[in-house]
Amino acid sequence: GENVEQHPSTLSVQEGDSAVIKCTYSDSASNYFPWYKQELGKGPQLIIDIRSNVGEKKDQRIAVTLNKTAKHFSLHITETQPEDSAVYFCAASGVYKYIFGTGTRLKVLA
Amino acid sequence: DAGVIQSPRHEVTEMGQEVTLRCKPISGHDYLFWYRQTMMRGLELLIYFNNNVPIDDSGMPEDRFSAKMPNASFSTLKIQPSEPRDSAVYFCASRTGPSGGGNEQFFGPGTRLTVL
């Protein structure tokens, strides 16, 4: 069945360093790839997304890259800050359904 | 807009009891999704509706689970009878249709369910 693998499951970085989270999807029909941030006790919130006809997208300190041939996509956070600490989820979507990755708990150490 | 609204935020019940979770989607959104989040299984899609009609319920775990959307502004997820393994955080999300231009699903704050 459809599957999204996400790595690493936990990631600790020093404040100011970069963080990279990687995902791999199985369904070649997927054409939309959102990234969600979930803070403790809250629902997931979209932070950036990318469509299959784009290879890279950037929004301030956050960027996402997509390699459709390899079915890989990655989230890059530069100049990390303590408020970036949260759980991050990738997802792959065809028409309407999201298949989520298992999440990455990011800790930014001050 | 107030965003997606869910109630209750926390629910503690005893095994065998009926549980009803409620969701109000963002006004104008045509699609509504119910998810379950656990440590073991992550975020799982249970069911989604389009214009109040269930489209895909393949994620509903058992017949004990049922979901309804009687109108565009209200949906319920019911568990009857509840079991301890149903303990999880349940999220509701909504989004516009293709004509709305976006793919983003907007999540509510979730309902934390504990079944004793």
pLDDT tens figures, B47-60: 999 999 999 999 99
> No. of H helices and E strands in chain B?
0, 11
CA distance, residue B53 to nearest chain A CA (Å): 14
**Listed residue (A7, A1, A32) closest to A102, CA to CA:** A7
DSSP-derived secondary structure letter, B1: -
Examine the pLDDT at A53 and tell me if it is beyond 90.
no
- Which pLDDT value is given to residue B101? 67
- Which pLDDT value is given to residue B98? 72
- DSSP-derived 3-state class of residue A1: coil
pLDDT tens-digit series, residues B60-73: 988 999 999 999 99
User: Which tokens in the block code for residue A110?
Assistant: 């001050």
Residues of chain A with Cβ-Cβ distance to B96 below 8 Å are: none
- Show Cβ contacts of residue B40 under 8 Å, excluding neighbours closer than 6 positions: none
- Which pLDDT value is given to residue A95? 78
Q: Could you give the C-alpha distances from B6 to B90, B94, B115, in angstroms and in order?
A: 9, 12, 18
Examine the pLDDT at B3 and tell me if it is beyond 70.
yes
Best of B5, B45, B95, B103 to disrupt the A interface (most A CBs within 10 Å) is B103
- Which pLDDT value is given to residue A44? 97
pLDDT tier at A81, thresholds 50, 70, 90: very high
Q: Distance (Å, rounded) from C-alpha B71 to C-alpha A2?
A: 31
Do A97 and B48 count as a contact with CB atoms less than 8 A apart?
yes
Examine the pLDDT at B100 and tell me if it is beyond 90.
no
Do A44 and B43 count as a contact with CB atoms less than 8 A apart?
yes
CA distance, residue A33 to nearest chain B CA (Å): 10
Examine the pLDDT at A21 and tell me if it is beyond 80.
yes
